[in-house]
Each structure stands twice: as structure tokens, then as C-alpha cells.
Amino acid sequence: MLQQVNGHSSGSDAPNLSFLREGLQEFLGSDAPLHQLDDLTKVNPVTLETVLRCLQARYMADKFYTNAGCTLVALNPFKPVPPLYAPELMIEYHTAPQPQKLKPHIFTVGEQSYRNVKSLMEPVNQSIVVSGESGAGKTWTSRCLMKFYAVVAASPTSWESHKIAERIEQRILNSNPVMEAFGNACTLRNNNSSRFGKFIQLQLNRTQQMTGAAVQTYLLEKTRVAYQASNERNFHIFYQICKGASEDERLQWHLPKGAAFSWLPNPEKTLEEDCFEVTREAMLHLGIDTPTQNNIFKVLAGLLHLGNIWFADSEDEAQPCQLMEDAKCSLRTSALLLQLQEDLLLETLRIRTIKAGRQQQVFRKPCSQAECDTRRDCLAKLVYARLFDWLVSVINSSICAGPDTWTAFIGLLDVYGFESFPDNSLEQLCINYANEKLQQHFVAHYLRAQQEEYAVEGLEWSFVNYQDNQTCLDLIEGSPISICSLINEECRLNRPSSAAQLQTRIESALAGSPCLGHNKLSREPSFIVVHFAGPVRYHTAGLVEKNKDPVPPELTGLLQQSQDPLLTVLFPSNPKEKAQEEPSGQSRAPALTVVSKFKTSLEQLLQVLHSTTPHYIRCIKPNSQGQPQTFLQKEVLSQLEACGLVETIHISAAGFPIRISHQNFVERYALLRRLYPHTSSGLYSHYLTKRTSEWPAEEATLHLLQDILHTLPALTQTLATHTDPAEATTAAVHCGRTKVFMTDSVLELLECGRAQVLEQCARCIQCGWRRYQHRKQERQRQAATLLQAGEWGRTPVSYSLCHLPLKLSYRTSGHFVISLLFLATSSAVRSWLTRKYIQRLHTAATVIKHAWQKWRTRMAFLASKELDGIEEKQAPGLGSCSPLSPAQTRLPGAVIRLWPLGLVLANSGVGVRGFQRKLVVCACLHLPSSSPSNYNVQTAQQDQAGVTSIRALPQGSVKFHCRKSPLQYADICPEPSPCTVTGFNQILLERHKLIHG
């Protein structure tokens, strides 16, 4: 069950809140419409209750991003949602014409900042501030934004540049796991809490392609190396090398399985961040080779063994503390891994060197047990801090582009969230101080500055009350007296610091501040600071020592004597640096404290943010247990109040987030007058004529500004015609004394109109260019035609045609008339030449046809003549036979078809045999139907012979000779048509078909 809030303690009493809920019960009765509200400015009325219900409804519907005017609210889902961050979704938001119309997402903020860089509108540089409590998802949000820019800002044109961009993109993405392994740790509120702040500068060239990046870090919590609170862990990298090292690496680094280290609490807790292979692969991509990696991990293993060195208090103050029995092996192993002399290491930890007097005499004083532990912790913190800074420099050298290769940048600020633990010290004070500064930047940029600018520009505006944290900042960093100044003063005093005395000084000097409180029931000296996110109690014990951050010079000298290659790079033995670190005499300057250095770096960061266009993402943690689908309203409500989200929604809903100076507005949108040159509307005239005398702008600029604003109603109607008629509302735009104020919808409207004008201009340019190319090709074609006409036979006609355009060019000046005359003449010549060619072909075909017909006729005549002149000789034994009677030899009434029976048989079907063949013969002879028995077809006898003539009627039976013909032209065939028969010669040529048929 979700925990429901029945009341709220801050701001109003319980009865008033109960009355408010009763008044809003009808509106908040159903959560169904609330989860569909993508923007909290649409909630009516805008109160903490309605905003809280809307966020809860969207969270339970797996909608984790919601717009809040100029801010994006991101709820941590506490579960993996891969489709929500897929590359396809990145491309969809990048290619969308209006990403604001899509569902709220961090990609919308990323794309908006990227398009601002492409528009080149001042300020060109962009920054995205990701803020929220620890565990709200700031690190994950920054990581997803880096992946988004790596996808959309890497679009090279050539294969070589594609490889370069891909390598840069991979290195930028690989910097995340390395920095998270060495700079993040598991805390009470977050399993992957950033223990340092970082500002990632993504560098873009002139074509908005990502060419490199730079990383700047702030205040690494190096005390975590030697001290971890209850139920918290050390940095991830220590657990990675202990769990992911191979057997050979364990032997090299002296990390046996099951070994216990005092600086490695909760080793049994397994996290997703304990992946050693991912860190090693990322380091390899960044240019850190395997031997260097092994050297780094060996040094880290030496620090773990250094933490197991414990000392026993000595009874004699003149004698150094004794090393405990269990710590001797750890001392030997640590010295071996760090490549230090064991005796020198032990002496440096137990004996302090003091220089005094004008002659700088050196005194050696044994340290107490507490001092020995402090020196041991200081040695570990010094090595780890130098190692972390070296890694950052290596990453920057690997991914940073040259100053001449990039022109703009998009900054991602991921700082530690607001923290409040049972035991808060200097680290939490600096972290919360940074959050106060960022909250003030947000308030100054979007709340106070926005309302004050409306008043200066003359806009009618009702001010909204907001929570200003300037009082809290004055308490922390104010001048002349503040918490930071008092802590720094305690560090400069040459006396032992006292926690109770520091508490007394802070409470007495800053008693008038409303943000300072104290707990009288607390036994430990402490003070309370009321931050914008809630009160936090800080313990004064150890506060001054942490602020001093003293590094004994003998520790630095010890590390300079190491034979380890990595430690030699981290601690070079340079006399110049040594002289700078140890100035003597009166020229010694006060040492920089942790607070002073952090304050300086924070001011530099804010200067960068002020010079850019900021975008804000507020990360909200639904519950402190990290459970998905669990929305605890009490915890979320405190975060909404702390970040001033309701005031932000009020101002964003009623204000104008887009403001452009008159000159820039006219320069960018003056071409909109091309769309509606005759538009005249008095809708926006009162914004101009009302203050024309007050404006310091030129008259021409005001006239152009008025013409541009007159096009807005027509643009609105055009947009409503093409999209949705409901959008045809009055455009929210106001003109101040020096700037034009508008909403996001008006800016989109202007950009659409500008794109339409540019498209029309591009079409005109394309039409002109195509017309020019067409005319150029036509002239070339005409020239080629003239050359061809001159080569055709060089007749007088072609010669005159070749010179016709030249003659006409002297008499007329119009190229169009010449072109028409040339085309007409060229067409007539081509027609005449074609007709002559066809006539020649027709004459040749006629001659060939006549010759062929003449040859066929002659061949047929010769064959007929030879057949008619042959007389058949009488065969032996035939003369004794009596001749046939006339009745037997005559076929009365028989009608024969011009050709003998052999030709009939030749024309019959090839496959016809037997009785069917006889039927074919009878059908072809057309015998009379009367007395059919008188006529029959007889087969020739062996003693009978042939015919007397081809044209004579058959006498008796017919005998076909299949021998070779004796005729001279019998074997000659002029390839007749397959459907015609050309005489008896054809019968003889097809004798094989007759035999087989």
C-alpha cells in the first residue's frame, strides 16, 4: 500500500489543508485524467496537492517525466526501462519537427539545447543543470544525455571523419564508468552516489558535430577512503578489484579470497556497479594500457593493506608507538606494493619532523596513537586524490579537442544532491552549500530576474511570491562574518582547535540570522543550518582539521622516494614545487583551505552557467528505499517544497520564457513579410504605438517590427488550417522597451513561417537554375544539330541551313525568332531526307521482287516443257496383253482438281494411312454418287508401267516412281511458302514424306 499524506506541517495548519482537500475533492476524485497531463502548468488550481496527485498518477502509469513550465521533473523509476532510452527513441526526438509536441523526456531538453546551438542565437552555449537529492537519478540522467548527444551530434560526411567521430563518441561514453568507479560509492540513500561534482563540456564544431569533451571535477570526498559511515561502502573500485581480479592478479596484488580489510566494509553486498571488466575495458578505450592498469590496481591494493596498519599507544611519550602484531604483515605488504622501504614507511608514520628557529633546525618528535592513525589516513587520502586527478587529466587528454576545432559547447552539470545524515561534517556542508548556490542561480534566472525584467520592460505583471535562499547563503558565505569565514579563521590561529569553542563562536557571531539554529538537547557540539531543502545539523568536531587538510611534508617526501612508476608520476621530485610548497620567513602566505578552494571553483562554475542558456532537470526520489511502483507522498512533498516547484509553475504558466531583442528579432524574422506583403492588422499595434516614444530603437526597426507582428494572425490561421482549428488562438506576444516577449508556441509559429519563406526562396532559386540549365542544354543541342546538318552531304540546302541562323542574327535581335525559324527549317530538311531514303529502299525492293518472280516463272516453264516432251517406253511383256476397253479406261463424270493423284496424296496428312488415306483420295477426286460401285481405285500390278504425260488422265492404275528424277531442274526449289505447292517438282522433292505417310 502506498503511504498517503493526511496533513502537512509546514506553511499551514491541518484544518486548512483538510478544507483545501474537500474543495478539490471533485477535481482530484479520479486519477484517470491526471496522468494524461504532460505539463503541470495545465493543472488547475496549481497547488502542492494537485501537483503531487498529478505526479503520483503519472508515476503509477509508468510516465516518469513531466514538464513543469521551464523545468523538467524526472521521477526515478527504480527499475530498468530499456525502451525509454533506446537509440531509436533518440532519433525520433532528434528528427521530430516539434519535439515539444512529443511526450516529456530528457531527450526533449537535450534536443532543445542542441537546436539552440544550431540557431546561433545568443548566448549560443548551453548548459543543463541536473539537480535533486542523493538517489534521485542525477547520474543516470547525465549518462543518458551524453549518449543522446553522442548519437545526434555525430553525423560526419566521410568514412574517415566517421571513424574519428565514432572514436570520440566511444571515449566520451567510456569516461562515465571510469569516473563512477573511482568517484562513486554506496551511501545510505543511493547505491551509486556521486562523491564528487563534475561539469562535462561537450564541444561542438561549426557544423554542430561533437569533436570532443572536457571534464571538470569539484571536491572529491577523499575522506571516504579512510572513513565510511555505518552501512555505507568505500569507492566502487576497491570492491571491483577484490571481486573481479583473476587468480594471478590476486597473487600479484596480495588480495587472497576472504581477506578482511578495515577500509572495505560491507563486502558481501553485491551491486550492479561492481563490474570490474567494464571498468578495465573503458580504461583501455581511454588510452590506459594493461600494464598501467595493473600498476593502478596494485597501488589501490597497497592502500587497502595500509588501512590494516594499527598502532598501540606507547607508555613513554618519548618513544614512538609500537606496531601491533597483526599489522606487521600488512606493513610489509603495503610497502612492497607501493615500492617503499618498510623501515622508512614505518618511521614516517610514527615520527613527526618539526623545523624551528631561524636556522630551520629539524626536530623529530614521536607521534601519539591518534596522530599515527591520522598520518596513515592522510597518506592514503593523498595518494587517492592524486590518482583521481591524474585519471581526470588522462581522460581530458584523450577526449578533449583543440581550441581551434570547436566553437560552442553544451555543458552537463552533475553535482551531489542535497544531503542530510545523522553525522554531517565538512563534506556535507560544502555539498549543501553548492546546492544552495545552484538554487539561487535558478531563482535568479527564472523567478526573480524574469519578474523584474517584466517590470523594467513595461509589461503588466502581477508578482509571484517565491522562496529566496539569499539569507541562507549570507549565513554560509556572507561578508564580513559567516560560517566559512569563522572556520577559516580557526584554521589560521596558532592554537589547538576546540569543537565547543567553534560552536560558541558561530552561535554568538551569527545569532541574528534566521537560518541558524541550535539543538540544546544535543550532547555533541553542533549547529543547525536551515537550508532551502530543510534543516541540517553539522557537528563541529573535526571540522577545522578537515578544512585545513594538512599534508605533512615528510609524507610527500616519502612518496617521492617510491620506485613505483605511477607514484613517480604522481609525486615528482621537483625542487621548484618544493620551494613553492614550503616558503619560509615572513613571505609565507596563508594556506588555502578546503572551503576556500571549493568556493573559488564554485564561483568559476557559476560564471560559466551565467554565460550560457540554462536548462533545468529536477530529479525527484519517490521513496528512500529504492522500491519501484512506490510513491511516498510525504517524501515527494518535501522535495517539491524545497525546490520551489510550485512557484516555478505559476511563473512559467503566466510568463514568457522566450525573450529576444528588437534588433535580433528583426534580423531573423524580417523575411516573414514576404508571405503576406499586404497584411494589415491592428491586433498588435497597441503594443507598438503605446510606447513608441519611449523606445530607444530606430524608426526603421520599429516599422519592420510592426510589419512582422502583423503577419502573426495570418500565420496562426494558416497553421490552424493545416493542423488543428483549435490552435487558431491569439498569439501570446508582447513587445517591451528593448525586447520582444513570447511563449514557446509563438516561437514555433515564427520558425514555421520562416521555414516556409526559406522554402519559397529555395524554390525560386531552383527554378532559375533549372531554367538556365535548360536553356544552356537547348543551345548546345541546336549547335550540335547545325554541325550535323553541315556534315550531311554538304548540299546547297544544308549549306544554306548552316548559315541561316548567322544571317538572321545580323538582321534580328530576338533569339526566339531565330530558334523558331531554325526548328521549322530543320524539320523540313529531315522530312525530305527521310522520304528520299524510303523511296530508294522501295525501288530496290521492287527490282528484287520482279527479278524473283521472273526467275520462278522461267523455272516452272522449263519443268513443264521437259515433262511434256518425254515418252514412256513400253516395258517387256506388256505387248501381249490385250488393251483395256474404253468403258474401263474412261471415268465418266469424274472431276479432277487440276493435279494428278500423286499431288493429292502429297497434300494429304502425313500421318494418314490405310482406309483414311482412301477416303482422302475419294474426297479429292469428287466421284459421282450414282453407281459408285463402277469406280474403284486399284493398286498397280507389278507388270504395269507408268503414265504418258503429266496432264493425261490416268490409264488404269497409277504407279509412282521413287527413284531419282532424270529431269534437269527436278532438284531445284526456290524456297516456296509452306502453304503453297509449285508443281510436280515439289512432288518429287517430298517423296520421302509420301513414302512414310
Choose the weakest-confidence range: 360-364, 771-775, 838-842: 360-364
**Range among 244-258, 783-797, 948-962 with highest mean pLDDT value:** 244-258
| 399 or 885, higher pLDDT | 399
Residue with cell 566520451: 172
State whether residue 411 is helix, strand or coil: strand
pLDDT at 946: 43
Task: Supply φ then ψ for residue 368, to 5 degrees.
Answer: -75, 175
184-185 and 193-194 beta bridge pairing: antiparallel
Q: How confident is the model at residue 988 (pLDDT cuts 50, 70, 90)?
A: very low
Residue 19 pLDDT exceeds 90: no
Report which residue type is found at 300.
L
Residues 6+ apart with CB under 8 A from 449: none
Handedness of CA 213, 216, 222, 228 (dihedral sign): negative
- Cell numbers found for residue 423: 553525522
Percentage above 90 pLDDT, the chain: 31
How many C-beta atoms lie closer than 10 Å to residue 413's C-beta? 24
Q: Is the pLDDT of residue 421 over 60?
A: yes
Residue 720 pLDDT? 57
- Mean pLDDT computed over 461-478: 82
Q: Would you give the DSSP letter of residue 127?
A: E
Q: CA 921 to CA 393: how far, in whole Å?
A: 114
Which three-class secondary structure state does DSSP give residue 197? strand
Residues 508-552: tens digit of each pLDDT: 999 989 999 888 778 889 999 999 888 999 999 989 988 988 888
The whole-number average pLDDT for the span 827-834 is: 85
The DSSP bridge pattern shows strands 351-356 and 534-539 to be: unpaired
- Omega cis (within 30) before 123: yes
Cα 852 to Cα 849: distance, rounded to the nearest angstrom: 5
Beta bridge partners of 200: 215, 412
Which tens digits make up the pLDDT trace of 942-961? Answer: 444 444 444 444 555 555 44
Q: Check residue 871 and give its pLDDT.
A: 44
Query: Looking at 61-65, 475-479, 911-915, which range is the least confident one?
Result: 911-915
Q: Which residues contact 971 (CB under 8 A, 6 or more apart)?
A: 965, 989
Instruction: Name 470's Cβ contacts closer than 8 Å, sequence gap at least 6.
Output: 440
Specify the higher pLDDT residue, 401 or 897: 401
**Can you tell me which residue has the cell 491586433?**
683
Residue 914 is predicted with a pLDDT of 59
User: Is pLDDT of 477 > 50?
Assistant: yes
Amino acid letter at 397? Answer: S
Q: What is the pLDDT of residues 82-96, one digit of tens each?
A: 899 999 999 999 999
Q: How far apart are CA 74 and CA 71, in angstroms?
A: 10
Structure confidence at residue 784 as a pLDDT band (50, 70, 90): confident
What integer is the mean pLDDT of 298-302?
A: 96
Three cell numbers, residue 794: 554538304
Q: Are 76 and 135 in contact (CB under 8 A)?
A: yes
646/616 Cα distance (integer angstroms): 15
Could you count the other beta carbons within 10 Å of the beta carbon of residue 555?
19
User: Mean pLDDT over all residues of the chain?
Assistant: 77
Question: H helices of 534-674, where?
Answer: 543-548, 553-560, 565-570, 575-581, 594-610, 633-642, 645-654, 662-669
Sort strands 526-531 and 516-517 into parallel, antiparallel or unpaired: antiparallel
Q: Is the pLDDT assigned to residue 794 strictly greater than 70? A: no
Q: Comparing 232-246, 540-554, 567-581, 923-937, which segment has the lowest mean pLDDT?
A: 923-937
Residue type, 710: H
Task: Provide the sign of the torsion angle of the four alpha carbons 903, 908, 910, 914, taken in this order.
Answer: negative
Q: With b meaning 16 or more CB within 10 Å and e meaning fewer, what string describes 978-990?
A: eeeebbbbebbbe
Q: Which of 379, 481, 514, 434 is nearest to 219 (CA)?
A: 434
Which residues does 44 contact at the CB level (< 8 Å), separation at least 6?
A: 27, 50
Q: For position 724, what pLDDT does the model report?
A: 53
- Which one has a higher pLDDT value, 821 or 985? 821
The pLDDT of residue 884 is 45
Least Cα distance to 618 among 237, 67, 171 occurs for 67
User: Residue 719: its pLDDT value, please?
Assistant: 61
Q: What pTM, to 2 d.p., does this model score?
A: 0.64
Three-state SS at 132: strand
Would you state the pLDDT for residue 409?
92
pLDDT for 702: 72
State the Cα–Cα distance between residues 547 and 590, nearest whole angstrom: 13
- Secondary structure (DSSP) of 208-257: S-EEEEEEEEE---GGGGT---TT---BHHHHHHHHH--HHHHHHHT--T
Coil, strand, or helix at residue 745?
A: helix
366-414: per-residue pLDDT in tens? 999 989 999 999 999 999 999 999 999 999 998 888 888 889 999 999 8
| 653 compared with 683, residue with greater pLDDT | 653
Helix (H, G, I), strand (E, B) or coil at 530: strand
Q: What is the per-residue pLDDT for 850?
A: 92
- Residue-wise pLDDT for 663-697, tens only, equals 888 888 888 877 766 544 444 444 443 444 444 44
CA dihedral 377, 382, 388, 391 (to 10 degrees): -140
Secondary structure of residue 882 in the 3-state scheme:
coil
CB 252 within 8 A of CB 311: no
SS3 311: strand
Given a cut of 50, whether residue 585 has pLDDT beyond it is no
pLDDT score of 387: 96
Report the alpha-carbon distance of residue 653 to residue 660 in Å, rounded.
19
The answer to whether the CB of 203 falls within 8 A of the CB of 214 is yes
The DSSP result for 648-688, as a single string, is HHHHHHHS--EEEEHHHHHHHHGGGGGT-TT----TTHHHH
Q: What per-residue confidence (pLDDT) applies to 456?
A: 83
SS3 (DSSP) at 618:
strand
